[in-house]
Amino acid sequence: MNKEKEVQIDWIRLSEIIEENSDEQWSLIPMVQKIQKEFGYIPPQAIPIIAAKLKIFPSQVQGVISFYAQLYTEPRGRNTVRVCRGTACHVRGGKTILKLVKQHLGVDEGETTEDMEYTLETVACIGVCALAPNLVIGNQVYGNLNPKKLGRLLKKDGG
Amino acid sequence: MQPVTLTINRQEVSGHSGMTILELARESGIDIPTICHHSKLSPIGACRFCIVENEQNGALLASCVTPIAPGMIINTESPRVLEHRKMILKLMLASHPDSCLVCDKGNQCQLRRLAADLGIGLIELDRIPQPAVTEEVNPFISRDMSKCILCARCIRACQELVIEGALDYLGRGFKAKPATLNNSPLELSECTFCGTCVALCPTGALMEKEGPYGGTIGKTIVTTCPYCGCGCSISLEIKDNRVARVKPVIDEHTDLKALCVKGSYGCDFIHSPERLAKPLIKESNKFKEVSWDEALAAVAGAFNKIKEEYGADSLAVLGSANCTNEDNYLLQRFTRDVLGTNNIDNGSSLYYSATRQAFNDAVGSPGITHCLEDLEKAEVILLIGANPEASAPQVNYRIKRAVKLHGAKLLLIDPRKTKLSFFTEHWLRPKVGTDLALLNGLAKVIIEENLIDQEFVARKTEKYHQLAGFLAGYPLEKAESLTGVDAEQMRRAARLYASAGKAAIIFGTGITQQAQGVENVKALINLALLTGNIWRKGGGIRALQRECNAQGACDMGALPEYLPGYQRVEDPQGRKKYEERWDVSLPSSSGADALKILQGAIEGKIKGLYITGENPLISFPRSSLVKEALNSLDFLVVQDLFLTETAKLASVVLPAASFAEKDGTVTNMEGKVQMIRKAVEPVGESMPDWEIILHLAQAMGQPLPYSSLQQVMDELRELVPLYRNGREGKSLEEEDLWETRADYRLPLNKFPGFSVLEYISPAEALDDSFPFILLAETPLFHFGTGSRSSKSRNLSKFSPSFKVRINEVDAQKMGLRPGDQVRVVSPVGQLLAAAEITDELPRGIVSLPRSIPGHPITGLFSSMPEVSTKTFAPKTCYVRIERG
């Protein structure tokens, strides 16, 4: 896990979001999505507050958040780097690409860089196997990767 | 309802719509194996082990969650079904350790049994790596997640039965597991260690910590929990004359009564090495072990001598709300017949006499019985002066189930924030001790807004106009300024209570142990009468009782003014039945109650006292005075399991058998009479209380004519109409649960009626030198005076430390930090404690837990009996906090 990152949470804004979204019938998921949109993640301290508002148990809120891959309880980088670990990319050296990305960013899978710029993830296939090996930064796909290109890419992108 | 007809295993069966295939199959005698399904939990279809095949379309359906449909052709054992079931089980085993040989779940493991049933031995699948064992430091529950099969029984038990919500799934896929918030160990979570999840876990994932690898259980005995007044049935698992485990009783026909930490893990006091094994006689300030003959002769001699010299009324007896009905019945006969006095009382008078008196006056009935199950039918529950989470866990579960599962609304009146605050619709936080002003305010709103049950009030009650007249001159603003509760909040609360068809009131010692305890209860009765909520199913009014047999001890006449069945001792008609049956002439004047007995001892009027199963030195206020009283006696006999603080002052100590070592019955707070069954042999030479009483009567030269417990039961059943109820001819040996309800309802056309109750500000007003109000709180992990719970190895290992809780703002003002040593000083005593800073108490209030071993707090309370009820007020007092 990442070491504790200091992230300032605007608690007033947080309770506003909770308040605004608590009247819907199935309000938990839209509520946590909005919190994540605002803060980039769902602060774990928010879980008991959400639970008390919706009159469900904190463990249930945590259960729902932990179920969905789209919901995070840790701060995320401004960009998500998704390295493809699909079959075609694997054959074309995807494993090495992942290793190099890890080296470049200095983080492991699921972790975020110190400067909060990148969060590293892997993905099973992004559907452009012709360009293998691939990775995605934010919404942009980068194909035909090699170590040199990767170095330039992460450098250019501020890494 | 239209029956639904379908075919299961070529057999035509029909059920009603909404039934699941599993339910219908089981009803039709067709067995479908299940794992995650449990009849006491909602079905979720998690394990898929119960699959069946619909032969019409080849679909494999999880029968526990699939409703029946007309024309289905179901096969529960087709080759495909069997093949899939085997595969499901193999997959479970692939992620389960092969540690069956050393797993303490042993032959109770459902996974192992099903594997054997299906003929699965070693499996060919690759192993799925397993998470490490979770280490827990709590002494009750150990979790081994490598044995978890994700059936979610623990999660459902926690969320549906005890409504704690400590557990839910965390993560998904291979990582999924039941976990607490932040995946913290149980002791840092919401878990209360009730043990329900452990009782329902099908594998060895959740186990009791105590006694691993204990081997196979020899037998199980169903009996009744010896702790609080809820009277939960418990199942004692016996091995080698020892109680190895305690489990809730899981019976097809009744709903599962989840236990609490005391019931599940606190019964091991039975085997404490500190149990008294032989009678003791004090000689030159030291106890000496003696034979029963010697001890009984000493007691009999002393009592006879005192009786001869000073008269029968110089003797007194304190019965026990922890002993059985039979013990108390014999004890009161012994007191009245052999000793010849009515000086008998029991420990429940400390808090229950206000309730009894209020009910006698306003309802015309000495006791109140509404069954606990009914509570779940209530639409509104008003809870006042109680924290059932600690004092009556079963009631706590019922309240939460009513709210969470059945949509009831909880109206909480408590200055403290408790776990139940989470479940409230309205939460009123009056200033401590102003409950009466608040309740009058609620009654006023109900009358003013015409929310009363007109017909009920007109036909069934009296004195309505007095009450209405009084409340007309009681402005809500007055209630507002006295209680600090907003008038609008009171209005909303009153409307909520009065508009419900079935509204239940539950109250505890928070309102009875006040100077105006009786008035408080009567004010609640006013509310119930105004809205017709008396004896109404789901509605009604109930008092929480502390001990397992508080109700029974009173029913049996362990009271100074009543014979068994509440026959007044002054009433010749009431005495007659007993005098004829016992062939004696009974003392005809009301005896001394517990308080008067102690006062009498100090004044020299009471010379000899016989205490069974009570520890007044700890439970009564002003321990220094109690000590003085007990020391002034010529002769004190204490009969108990342990050498309690009180027993240490005794001339003779008699060793009594525990609940697991004797037979008898106890009556819980709902009036249900239940069996206590002998499970193990008594420790050492200890004897059941009833036997000791018989031996003592014999030694005093006036033997009582009983040779067996059955005779006592038969007689009390015959003489106490309350206990007759459907029990004729049943004997002790009969295996069916001796479980019936005493009915305290009197065939009244009218209730004696409403009471006009003026709130009086306490005499000892808030004074600058004692600026805080101290509340005595009941802790969950200890009970009563702690004489039994502190001898439980499990409970004492987990004993929360003794801390005084103080509001954060007050603490800040005093510069206190968590853990600082402070001195709590009251006008009559003081003690040291560490400070715990909290937002759960309002400003100006501090609280201390009672019953923590080694930390009696009764020394802080002045013994200020409320004159009309003799109720002590050991719940609150004024204190100041000094740095220690």
- Three-state SS annotation for B177-246: EEECHHHCCHHHCCCCCCCHHHHHCCCCCEEECCCCCCCCCCEEEEEECCCECCCCEEEEEEECCEEEEE
Q: Give domain status of residue A145, yes or no.
A: yes
A101 plus A55 within the same structural domain? no
A2 contacts chain B (CB < 8 A)? no
Which CATH number is A104's domain given? 3.40.30.10
d(CA B168, CA B166): 7
Predicted confidence band of residue B745 (pLDDT cuts 50, 70, 90): low
| pLDDT higher than threshold 60 for residue B451 | yes
Same domain, B487 and B608: no
Report the chain B residue with the minimal C-alpha distance to residue A49.
B422
Q: Is A8 on the interface with B (CB under 8 A)?
A: no
Question: Dihedral of CA B10/B16/B19/B25: which sign?
Answer: negative
Do B171 and A66 make contact, defined as CB atoms within 8 angstroms?
Answer: yes
Query: Closest to B422 (Cβ–Cβ): which among A52, A60, A66?
Result: A52
Out of A52, A59, A67, name the one closest to residue B180 (CB). Answer: A59
Instruction: Note whether A66 contacts B167, CB cutoff 8 Å.
Output: no
Pair B503, B395 in one domain = yes
Put simply, the chain A residues between 64 and 93 with a CB less than 8 A from any chain B CB are 66-67
Chain B residues near any Cβ of chain A (below 8 Å): 159, 165-172, 179-182, 190, 422-423
Domain of B858, CATH number, reads 2.40.40.20
Is the ipTM beyond the 0.85 threshold?
A: yes
A57 and chain B in contact, CB less than 8 A: yes
Residue-wise pLDDT tens digits, B574-606: 899 999 999 999 999 999 988 889 999 999 999
At B16-46, the pLDDT tens digits run 999 999 999 999 999 999 999 999 999 999 9
Asked if residues B640 and B613 have their Cβ atoms less than 8 Å apart, the reply is yes
Among residues B62, B77, B92, the one where a domain terminates is B77
pLDDT at B865 over 70: no
Decide if B162 is inside a domain: yes
Q: What is the CATH number of the domain that holds B43?
A: 3.10.20.740
pLDDT recorded at residue B338? 96
Subunit contact A60:B168, Cβ cutoff 8 A:
yes
Task: Give the DSSP letter of residue B126.
Answer: P
| Inside any domain, residue A22 | yes
Q: Which residues of B touch A52 (CB under 8 A)?
A: 422
Q: Residue B506 has what pLDDT?
A: 94
How do residues B265-321 score in pLDDT, each as one tens digit? 999 999 999 999 999 999 999 999 999 999 999 999 999 999 999 999 999 999 999
In a domain, B340, yes or no: yes
Q: Write out the H or E segment, with its range, that includes residue B667.
A: strand B664-667
CB contact under 8 A, A66 and B159: no
Look at residue B820 and tell me if it is in a domain.
yes
Q: Which domain holds residue A34?
A: 11-67
* Domain match, B430 and B535 both: yes
Lowest mean per-residue pLDDT among A33-47, B110-124, B463-477, B786-800:
B786-800
Per-residue pLDDT averaged across B176-182, rounded?
A: 93
Nearest CA in chain A to B164: A57
Average pLDDT of the segment spanning A108-125? 90
- In a domain, residue A72? The reply is no
Instruction: Output the pLDDT for position B65.
Output: 97
B229 and B368 part of one domain: no
**Length of chain A in residues, anyone?**
159
**Do residues B244 and B304 both lie within one domain?**
no
Cα B259 from Cα B580, distance rounded (Å):
44
Question: Does A55 contact chain B (CB < 8 Å)?
Answer: yes
Last residue of one domain, picked from the residues B488, B514, B543: B543
Cα distance between residue A69 and residue B1, in whole Å: 45
Question: CB distance from A58 to chain B under 8 Å?
Answer: yes
Q: A99 to chain B, minimum CA–CA distance in Å?
A: 24
Mean pLDDT of B237-246: 90
- Which CATH number do you get for residue B181? 3.30.70.20
Structural domain count of chain A? 2
- The answer to whether residue A148 neighbours chain B at the CB level (below 8 Å) is no
In a domain, A6, yes or no: no
Q: Give which of A50, A55, A57 to mutate to test B binding, by max B Cβ within 10 Å.
A: A57
Q: Which of B136, B264, B261, B149 is nearest to B205 (CA)?
A: B149
Q: Cβ–Cβ of B165/A59 closer than 8 Å?
A: yes
Decide if B735 is inside a domain.
Answer: no
Three-state DSSP at B763 gives coil
Residue A37 belongs to a domain: yes
Give A-chain residues touching B422 at CB under 8 angstroms: 52, 55
Q: Which helix (H) or strand (E) holds B718?
A: helix B709-719
Residue A62 lies in a domain: yes
Which of residues A36, A67, A98 is at a domain's end? A67
Contact A67 B172 (CB under 8 A): yes
What are the tens digits of pLDDT across the range A53-85?
999 999 999 999 999 988 999 888 888 899 999
Please, which pLDDT band fits residue A159 given cuts at 50, 70 and 90?
Answer: very low
Q: How far apart are CA B741 and CA B724, in angstroms?
A: 9
Q: Are residues B374 and B291 in the same domain?
A: no
Asked if A60's CB is within 8 angstroms of B159's CB, the reply is: yes
Burial class (CB within 10 angstroms; exposed 0-12, middle 13-18, buried 19+) of B609: buried
Which residue from B minimizes the CA distance to A47?
Answer: B181
Answer whether residue B156 shows pLDDT above 70.
yes
Domain identity same for A54 and A97: no
Q: What percent of chain B has pLDDT over 70?
A: 93
| Residue at a domain's end among B543, B569, B595 | B543
Indicate the residue of A44, A57, A67 with minimum beta-carbon distance to B165: A57
Q: At B203, list the tokens.
A: 């594998």
Partner-chain residue, chosen from A47, A48, A63, that has the shortest CB–CB distance to B169: A63
Q: Which residue from B minimizes the CA distance to A71?
A: B171
Confidence bin at B868 (pLDDT 50/70/90):
very low
Contact B170 A58 (CB under 8 A): no
Q: Is B285 exposed, middle or buried (0-12, 13-18, 19+ CB in 10 A)?
A: exposed
**Do B341 and B360 lie in a common domain?**
no
Does one domain contain both B383 and B507?
yes
Residues A60 and A87 in one domain: no
Considering the domain architecture, whether residues B514 and B581 belong to the same structural domain is answered as no
Q: Are residues A61 and A104 in the same domain?
A: no
Rounded distance between C-alpha atoms, residue B302 and residue B306, angstroms: 6
Q: What is the pLDDT of residue B742?
A: 61
Same domain for A83 and A127? yes
Asked if the C-beta of A138 comes within 8 angstroms of chain B's C-beta atoms, the answer is no
Query: Comparing C-alpha atoms, which of B183, B194, B93 is closest to residue B146?
Result: B93
In chain B, how many domains are there? 5
Min distance B168 CA to chain A CA atoms (Å): 5
Residue A5 lies inside a defined structural domain of this protein: no
Q: Do the Cβ atoms of A67 and B169 come within 8 Å?
A: yes
CATH number at residue B336: 3.40.50.740
CATH assignment of the domain containing B497: 3.40.228.10
Report the Cα–Cα distance between both ends of chain B, in Å, rounded: 72
Q: Which residues from chain B sit within 8 angstroms of residue A60, using beta carbons? A: 159, 165, 168
> Based on the domain organization, do A85 and A150 belong to the same domain?
yes
Q: Which of B150, B169, B188, B404 to mutate to test the interface with A (most CBs of A within 10 A)?
A: B169
Nearest beta carbon to residue A62 from set B159, B168, B423: B168
Residue among A55, A62, A67 whose CB faces B181 most closely: A62
Which residues of chain B make contact with A4, given a CB cutoff of 8 A? none
Residues A84, A151, single domain; the answer is yes
Same domain, B361 and B506: yes
Q: Does A45 touch chain B (CB under 8 A)?
A: no
CB contact under 8 A, A63 and B190: no
- CB contacts of B408 in chain A (<8 Å) are none
B87 occurs within a structural domain: no
Describe chain B by its helix, strand, coil percentages, rounded to 5: 35, 20, 45
Output the pTM of the full model. Answer: 0.91
Name the DSSP letter for residue A56: S
Confidence of residue B411 (pLDDT cuts 50, 70, 90): very high
- Name the pLDDT band for A24 (thresholds 50, 70, 90): confident
Residue B866 has pLDDT above 70, yes or no: no
Please tell me the distance from the alpha carbon of residue B37 to that of residue B706, in angstroms, as a whole number.
50
Give chain A positions within 8 Å (CB) of B167: 59
The answer as to whether B729 is a domain residue is no
**Residues B10 and B73 both lie in one domain:** yes
Strand order in the sheet with B344-346: B286-289, B280-283, B652-655, B635-640, B608-612, B315-319, B344-346
Asked whether residue A84 falls in the same domain as residue A141, the answer is yes
Domain containing residue B503: 352-543
B180 interaction partners in chain A (CB closer than 8 Å): 59
Residue of A nearest to B425 (CA): A55
The verdict on B437 and B533 lying in the same domain is yes
In a domain, B764, yes or no: no
Residue A49 lies in a domain: yes
Residue B426 has pLDDT above 50, yes or no: yes
Q: Do residues A90 and A146 share a domain?
A: yes
**B294 located within any domain:** yes
* A-B Cβ pairs (cutoff 8 Å, strict): 41
Cβ <8 Å between A63 and B422: no
